[in-house]
Amino acid sequence: MNKEPDLDQYNVRAVERAIQILMSFDDGHPERGVTEIAQATGLHKATVHRIIMTLLQHGLLERTAEGEKFRLGVRMVNLGLRALRHLDLPRVARPYMEQLVNRFEETCDLGIFDQGQVLSIEVIYGDHALIVATRVGTYLPIHCTASGRIFLAFLPPEIVGPLLNVPIKACTEKTITCVDRLREELEAIRQRGYAIDDGEFEPGIRAVAVPVRDVFGNVIATLAIPGPVYRMTWDRVSEMAQALMEAASALSAHVLRR
């Protein structure tokens, strides 16, 4: 029988210390100064400072507004999202998506946040001759799609802020391009729990989307149903929204059990 290798012999002290520093940030301590990090990790302040400067350079840490403390950087979030992409979320989500398609006969898609856009990672097509659907691997804009607005409404401010500080492109005459108006819509999404795109990405197309959450309550994906306006009546959209939220809740619970 082959003996398991002793992983300790492969430890790189600098990497191990960097990991200690990153792991010192948690929900109770989202921001820390050099002294706090040194106390939490047991490392010398000079060592902590050198490693922090390297982590800052690569976007894994960032300074707070006051400049005296540090917090996890946006690149850490991006790395986590990339890891999620390799999990079997599409396979786990597929039965829930199929139930929605069978009930409403419309296409259902699963999306994740990637580089400021929505990346489609699973699609179950409806049975109508005319369907509205994207393809797996397709990117959608974040500001004028139902799935995109879920991410804008629920992702951390440090990620959302830069996305709203650039000119907003009008995809149709109904696209909301005023930042203040868009922020109002995001607050409404947080209140009701789902997002709607009413012809703002493509004319005549209406979509509804809901968040899928992880064990910490973070939004890791979206479930959405798009369709032509003449089939996506407002009464039907409300019914779909409720069904989507129930499916997303069950999917989240399934993910947590794994």
**Domains (ranges, CATH) in the chain?**
7-72 (1.10.10.10), 80-257 (3.30.450.40)
pTM of the model: 0.67
Are 223 and 93 in contact, with CB atoms under 8 Å apart? yes
Q: State residue 22 phi and psi, 5-degree precision.
A: -65, -40
* CA-based radius of gyration for the chain: 21
Higher-confidence position of 207 and 84: 207
User: To which residue do tokens 């804009």 refer?
Assistant: 141
Q: What is the pLDDT of residues 101-158, one digit of tens each?
A: 999 999 999 999 988 899 989 999 887 656 666 788 888 999 999 999 999 999 988 8
Mean pLDDT of 203-230: 92
**Amino acid 4: pLDDT:** 45
Diameter of the chain measured on Cα atoms = 69
Closest to 126 measured CA to CA, from 104, 146, 110? 104
CA distances from 56 to 29, 73, 76 (A): 18, 8, 11
Q: What is the pLDDT of residues 172-214, one digit of tens each?
A: 999 999 999 999 999 999 999 999 999 999 999 999 999 999 8
Are 50 and 34 in contact, with CB atoms under 8 Å apart? no
**Amino acid 1: pLDDT:** 44
Closest to 17 measured CA to CA, from 48, 45, 39? 48
35: its two tokens: 């002294």
Instruction: Give CA torsion, residues 171, 172, 178, 181, to 10 deg.
Output: -120
Higher-confidence position of 70 and 126: 70
Are 209 and 168 in contact, with CB atoms under 8 Å apart? no
**Amino acid 66: pLDDT:** 83
Sign of CA dihedral 204, 114, 74, 88: positive
Q: Is 207 helix (H, G, I), strand (E, B) or coil?
A: strand
CA distance 33 to 17: 16
